[in-house]
Structure 1
Amino acid sequence: MEWKKEFIDFSFKKKVLKFGKFILKSGRTSPYFFNSGTLSSGKDINKIGLFYAHSIIHSKIKFNVLFGPAYKGIPIVVATAIALKNYYNLNIPYSFNRKEQKKYGEKGDIIGSQIKNKKIIILDDVVTSGKALNNSIQIIEKKEAKISSVFVLLDRKEKGERNFYELKNFKNKKKYKIISMITITDLISYILEKKELHQYLSMLIQYRKKYGIS
């Protein structure tokens, strides 16, 4: 879809997406890096919210609450809720978790809409092995909510605590579908169309061959 190409171009121009040599949290040396934290203006985050909204509507998945994991998921979930209202006239509530337990006031670990017995879409920026998203799944399941799907900007599709297009929660043996704006395959296709980036093509292909999910 055209908006996917638009998203990659937007990410590259904003230096959210970079090609080169990067050490990941997993210890792997990656030929590309994606950092949504660099999107720190109102215009940028509004654009990201619209990309998520397009993806959610296109998926036709049933849900009634958006959830954004702290910290990067917080601006994402707010921007997406605004985009769904402004562009699709859907007034969807959102919530996010605290990383630190509050010991005064309401002492809750969830801020925003209550999620018990709701159908939840989790919004995050990147999934690599799936470890971080498994933490969000456990938070939501403790609230007796149902996870409809997980939406991310980039799915690196790498070996780890997950299956192809799915995230596996080892504790309850359930699997959850991951829907991404783009994948490493989309990045390779993008580079093929950009002669100035061809120097990175072989590195991405080799990286996918070594760590990718086949």
Structure 2
Amino acid sequence: MSTSFRTDFVRFALQEGVLRFGSFVTKSGRTSPYFFNAGLFNNGRSVGRLAQFYAQALIDSGIAFDMLFGPAYKGIGLATAASMALAAAPALQGRDVPFAYNRKEAKDHGEGGHLVGAPLAGRVVIIDDVITAGTSVRESVDIIRAAGAQPAAVLIAMDRMERAGPDGALSPHSAVQDVSQTFGIPVVSIASLDDILALLQDDAQFAAHRQAVLAYRDRYGIV
């Protein structure tokens, strides 16, 4: 993926209020100088554009795949939208990419079970917004393998490039790195913290936030 593609996504996230700068307390209790919440892509236009970014990132990765899987709950809409964008992508020449997702609770009527959508088969790309603890990826990998399919990659919107754990006992790797090493599959992100920092360096409108983000990366980021 080109630098301009990743920068375009960062700017898009800023325009939609999905990426914000300031002071935010994260779920882990850390005070972060930026916050990325893909749930704020919440209208047809923005989700349609987001899906195009997902589709292009996957195509540009060169990873061979047969279908998408969206873990409940955020992944459901993302897999659906990305599948539509892939169907319209000129690079795939009209190829129709199936998708599936899971329910949190199994149905005991209708088609039943935890899975909805196309049967899991072949090389499956897991699509989500971010990887924080890797829990949804682990659950997804188990579901895909149990169906006899193969996890091919994980596709996310933003890689925070951040280590987990308390201060003084930080994990040696980021959540993204841990997922990739644990399951032996690549993790593709549309953009990362490096791309956010690149924008902060080049755009005077946001330059005031750069030192705070750099300090946060120095404290919690991967080397």
TM-score normalised to the size of structure 2? Answer: 0.87
- Whichever residue aligns with residue 90 of structure 1, its letter is R
How far did residue 5 of structure 1 move? 1.4
Map 1:124-203 to 2 at 5 A. 124-160=128-164, 163=173, 166-168=177-179, 173-203=182-212
* Aligned residues with identical type, % of pairs: 33
Which segment is superposed worse, 157-166 or 3-12? 157-166
Query: What CA distance in whole angstroms lies between the structure 2 residues aligned with 1:200 and 1:60?
Result: 34
Q: CA RMSD in A?
A: 2.0
Partner of 1:107: 112
Structure 1's 162 and 151: CA in aligned 2 closer, same or farther, altered over 3 A? farther
Consecutive unaligned residues in structure 2, runs of 5 or more: 165-170
- Whichever residue aligns with residue 71 of structure 1, its letter is Y
> How big is each residue's C-alpha offset from its partner over 1:63-116, in whole Å with a ceiling of 9 and x where there is no partner?
101011111111111111111111232201001110122222322111101114
Q: Is the 8 A contact 1:124 1:151 kept in 2?
A: yes
Query: What CA distance in whole angstroms lies between the structure 2 residues aligned with 1:167 and 1:149?
Result: 13
- Whichever residue aligns with residue 190 of structure 2, its letter is M
Q: How many residues align?
A: 211
Query: What CA distance in whole angstroms lies between the structure 1 residues aligned with 2:109 and 2:25?
Result: 39
- The answer to which structure, 1 or 2, has the higher relative contact order (CA under 8 A, 6+ apart) is 2
Partner of 1:63: 65
Query: What CA distance in whole angstroms lies between the structure 2 residues aligned with 1:62 and 1:34?
Result: 28
Structure 1's 169 and 3: CA in aligned 2 closer, same or farther, altered over 3 A? closer
Structure 1's 97 and 104: CA in aligned 2 closer, same or farther, altered over 3 A? same
How far did residue 207 of structure 1 move? 1.2
Report the 3-state secondary structure (helix = DSSP H, G, I; strand = E; otherwise coil) of the residue aligned with 2:187: strand
Q: Is the 8 A contact 1:16 1:34 kept in 2?
A: yes
How far did residue 27 of structure 1 move? 1.9
Q: Is the 8 A contact 2:33 2:213 kept in 1?
A: yes
- Whichever residue aligns with residue 208 of structure 1, its letter is R
Query: What CA distance in whole angstroms lies between the structure 1 residues aligned with 2:178 and 2:152?
Result: 12
Structure 1's 169 and 189: CA in aligned 2 closer, same or farther, altered over 3 A? closer
Consecutive unaligned residues in structure 1, runs of 5 or more: none
Which segment is superposed worse, 62-71 or 140-149? 140-149
Partner of 2:167: none
- The structure richer in strand per residue is 1
Which segment is superposed worse, 157-166 or 32-41? 157-166
Which segment is superposed worse, 41-50 or 157-166? 157-166
Structure 1's 5 and 176: CA in aligned 2 closer, same or farther, altered over 3 A? same
